[in-house]
Structure 1
Amino acid sequence: MLSIVHLADLHLGASYSFLPPAKAAAARESQFATLQRAVDYANTQFVNAILIAGDLFDSPQPAPEIVSRAFSILSGANCCVLISPGNHDYLCADSPYLTAQRPERVYVFTSPTLTSFPIGDRALVWGAAFCDQSASIPLEANLAPDKPNLCLVHSDLKTQSGYNPLTAADFKSSGFVYAALGHNHQYSGMRRAGQTIYACPGSPCGVGADDTGVKGFLFGQLGSETKFRFIPGGGIEFHTLNIDFTPLASDRMLEQALAEQIPKNHAKVCASVTLTGERCYEPDFPALRKALDTVFLHAVLTDRTTTRRSLWRYQNDDDLRGAVTRRYRTQIEAASSEEEKARLTLSLRYALAAMDGESQPSFENPS
């Protein structure tokens, strides 16, 4: 049985420039805590290797203190740590992968084509490096016939970009038992092509506002039965919360609607909260923003609501819209069933929308 931890796209040293300075510093600190968590988890599971599929650093020449701290954390691993540089931390003349003192157990692939590194006598890991911001790495290697062969590369699974795009067809005949990938910040799920299992774990710690969802890394056991488990990274996450304002009649109701969407780890969440629908009252936006900043690490509030319009807004007008409204109101009030009232109400909405030049009516309760 071969056991591994697979992570990618930590982007240590990211600026988080869209956050206030203190919160940006907290986000960067969270990145190191996430790396420490991955190493600690690997040690508790007695894994044979930690595989890092690129973009450990956010730039090819990160600050020395960032490199020193990252390598210090990795030095605590009780197994080998293998790194294939990606498009953000690609190899260059002054790359810390080439110039910095690395821990004894940390190995970096430096060739633009696949080369191998043995995990004891258990398996071979084939990796390669980005040597610029783009790369194309063929999955060609003289695989060992008597042991498992794994692939470790930074690769775009979503588009045919310049970031070493790979598809199921590339893996199907590759001969690898597992391909540990990076680049795409959303977890790909475990995939299979032929006899090859492959995955991108996504970023273990959110890096930008569009980097949403739960973040983490993979723990895998490869043998007669292969198992993988997604492990939450415990770091910064970015969440999008959409609140429909239409049924809300007070700030108390708004508070309850928000509470239903607040994640348990809210203190480590940067939230983008968007209000939609129609409002029948004016919320206390300053108080809401203050409350959101208390609940979340950071929050951005966007108001896309519109003021609710009464179904009877033209009733007193001396024109066609007024006449139509009065006629329908008489019919609605005389309706003998709720179904008939609903049908007449919908008909009036469409009639008013047509006369107002709208493509479709606003759906609100009559008031």
Structure 2
Amino acid sequence: MAFRFLHTADWQIGKPFGNVPGDAGAELRAQRIATIGTIARLAATRGVDAVLVAGDAFDSNEVQDRTILRTLDALKPFSGRWIFLPGNHDAALAHSVWSRMRQMGLEANITIADKPVPIEGWDGRAVVLPGPLSRRRESLDQTEWFDAAATPEGAIRVGLAHGSVANRLPGVAEASNEIPETRAQTAGLAYLALGDWHGSLKIAPKTWYSGTPETDRHRANSSGLVHIVDLDGPDAPERVETVPVGHYQWHQLEAQLLDGTCQAALEALSSIESEAARRVVSLTLRGGVSLAERYRLGTELSSWQHRFHHLDIDDAGLFEEPTEDDLDALDSSGFVRLAVDRLKAQAGNPSNPAAASARVALRMMYVDHMSGT
């Protein structure tokens, strides 16, 4: 009577990653499809009865046909049942990614759950109750029909939905397409498989978000996972195994430079040096450094940018504090030293509107000097 399935969601195939330019962004887009292949192989290896995709398989209904075809190819290692639920990014509109998929001709093992009707199979062991979205934001609860849905006697009831669980999601979550926190109990579900929140999370009794299988943002929310779910019967407690499948690791680092050196920044980057090519990093710098250390920092960051998959640097909170050694290195006398002294005086006066420009000018002079230009 047992039922084993893989729960995943929020693939968002075709996500543009506009903030990651060039090859790095293209590789992030390609990896999302490659990770689907990893999921398919995992499903085959673990012998699941089905893969349930709880919405937002695609980033929009406007993805290119070649993206759809590449995604369908990635599913092939698992020949069992795939059930796709339209979410808010890929809602079941009259003309949608789902209507285009049907026109392409679907394999028999792929089910598009775009109607609120029970999905049966598995020799009567289980029934999936889908709550598809037909627009980006639904005003009515798409899971309400679960409560009265007729299913075979003794079948395990599994809900499949996409949205925000009322009163439960963290305050930073976007509250849309609301789902009651008691839906699993009122509908007699053994498990409610959800999408929309991008991290793995048990949000209410028998109610789980699987999160996105390929991390796509700098947020500590247990992403890059899928769930292998075992249900031993309609009333048995769910057994959920979280399995890592993501390739890229996203990190948000902050470094406070308090001793006039850039050492804290370099130590923060060194802490994630292992498998650097898989890491997407956001580094925020604050504090003050000498001109010599600022020059060293620029050289080191340039090296790290080549080693990481992508490194984004926010140094708006970083300022230069020229030392006497810095100024002596620029010039010991004459007109240049006079200009340097004036810039230093301007840079050290926070009330001076030209302070920021003076700091930039000092830095540029130092870089030119060190470069021999």
Shorter-chain TM-score range: 0.7 to 0.9
Aligned to 1:122: 125
Aligned residue for 1:39?
40
Q: Which residue of 2 aligns with 1:107?
A: 111
Q: Is the 8 A contact 1:244 1:276 kept in 2?
A: yes
Partner secondary structure for residue 106 of structure 2: coil
Alignment partner, residue 205 of structure 1: 214
Cα offset, 1:178, TM superposition: 0.2
Aligned counterpart in structure 1 of residue 231 of structure 2, from 196, 216, 222 = 222
Check whether the contact 1:13–1:58 (CA below 8 A) recurs between aligned residues.
yes
Please state whether the residue corresponding to 2:144 is helix, strand or coil.
coil
Q: 1:296 to 1:91 in 2, by over 3 A?
A: same
CA distance in 1, matches of 2:27, 2:174: 32
Residue 229 of structure 1, CA deviation: 1.6
Residue by residue over 1:315-358, the C-alpha shift from the partner in whole angstroms, topping out at 9 and shown as x without a partner, is: xxxxxxxxxxxxxxxxxxxxxxxxxxxxxxxxxxxxxxxxx9xx
Deviations 1:251-294, CA, capped at 9 Å, x for gaps:
4564234212x164432222110123454663334313312212
2:177 aligned partner, one-letter code: N
Q: Retained in 1: the 8 A contact 2:251–2:282? A: yes
Superposed CA deviations along residues 218-259 of structure 1, whole A, max 9, x for unmatched, are: 111121553212112223343201122225x54456423421
Query: What residue number does 2:178 align with?
Result: 165
Q: Secondary structure at 1:125's aligned position in 2? A: strand
User: 8 Å contact 2:261–2:289 — kept in the other structure?
Assistant: no
Q: Which amino acid aligns with 2:188?
A: G
Matched residue of 1:246: which SS?
Answer: strand
Contact 1:151 1:179 in 2 (8 A): yes
Amino acid at match of 1:127: P
Aligned to 1:180: 193
Deviations 1:106-139 (A, max 9, x none): 101121x353333333211111321111123033
Does structure 2 conserve the Cα–Cα contact (< 8 Å) formed by 1:191 and 1:198? yes
8 Å CA contact 2:227–2:243 kept in 1: the answer is yes
Deviates more, 1:275-284 or 1:51-60: 275-284
Query: Is residue 69 of structure 2 the alignment partner of residue 62 of structure 1?
Result: no
Q: CA RMSD in A?
A: 2.8
- Work out whether residues 212 and 237 of structure 1, in 8 Å CA contact, stay in contact via their aligned partners in 2: no
Correspondence for 2:158 among 146, 150, 168: 150
How far off its partner does 1:167 sit?
A: 3.6
Q: Is the 8 A contact 2:256 2:264 kept in 1?
A: no
Residue 266 to residue 142, structure 1, CA distance change in 2 (3 Å): farther
Code of the residue aligned with 2:49 in structure 1: it is N
Contact (CA 8 Å) 2:125, 2:154: kept in 1 or not?
no
Paired AA for residue 270 in structure 1: V
Distance (Å, rounded) in 1 between the aligned partners of 2:122 and 2:294: 60
Deviates more, 1:230-239 or 1:206-215: 206-215
Q: Is the 8 A contact 1:181 1:200 kept in 2?
A: yes
CA distance in 1, matches of 2:248, 2:71: 17
Whole-Å separation in 2 of the counterparts to 1:173 and 1:280: 64
The whole-number CA distance in structure 2 between the counterparts of 1:64 and 1:211 is 33
Paired residues of 1:123 and 1:148 also in contact (CA < 8 A): yes
Which position in structure 2 is the counterpart of 1:258? 269
Answer whether contact 1:9 1:203 (CA < 8 A) is retained.
yes
Say which SS state the counterpart of residue 26 (structure 2) adopts.
helix
Moved more, 208-217 or 162-171: 208-217
Q: How many residues align?
A: 305
Question: Which deviates further from its counterpart, 50-59 or 235-244?
Answer: 235-244
What TM-score, normalized to structure 1?
A: 0.75
In structure 2, the residue matched to 1:97 is 98
Correspondence 1:139 to 2:144 = yes
Distance 1:39 1:156 in 2: 27
Aligned partner of 2:251 in structure 1 is 239
**Change in CA separation of 1:212 and 1:269 when aligned onto 2, cut-off 3 Å:** farther
Aligned-pair CA distance for 1:161: 5.9
Output aligned runs, 1:81-96, within 5 Å: 81-96=82-97
AA aligned to 2:108 is: E
- Report the Cα distance in structure 1 between the residues aligned to 2:289 and 2:228, rounded to whole angstroms: 47
> Hey, what does 2:286 align to over in structure 1?
276
Which is worse superposed, 264-273 or 156-165?
156-165
Question: In structure 2, what is the equivalent of residue 2 of structure 1?
Answer: 3
Q: TM-score, normalising length from structure 2?
A: 0.74
Please state how far the C-alpha of 1:162 moved relative to its aligned partner.
Answer: 6.7
Identity %: 20
Looking at secondary structure, tell me which structure has more helix per residue. Answer: 2
2:311 counterpart residue number: 299
Q: Deviations over 1:28-75 (max 9, x none)?
A: 111011111111111110111100001111111321111111112223
Post-superposition shift, 1:191? 4.2
- The separation in 2 between residues aligned to 1:53 and 1:87, in whole angstroms, is 11
Question: Secondary structure of 1:293's match?
Answer: helix
Structure 1 window deviating more from structure 2 (96-105 vs 56-65): it is 96-105
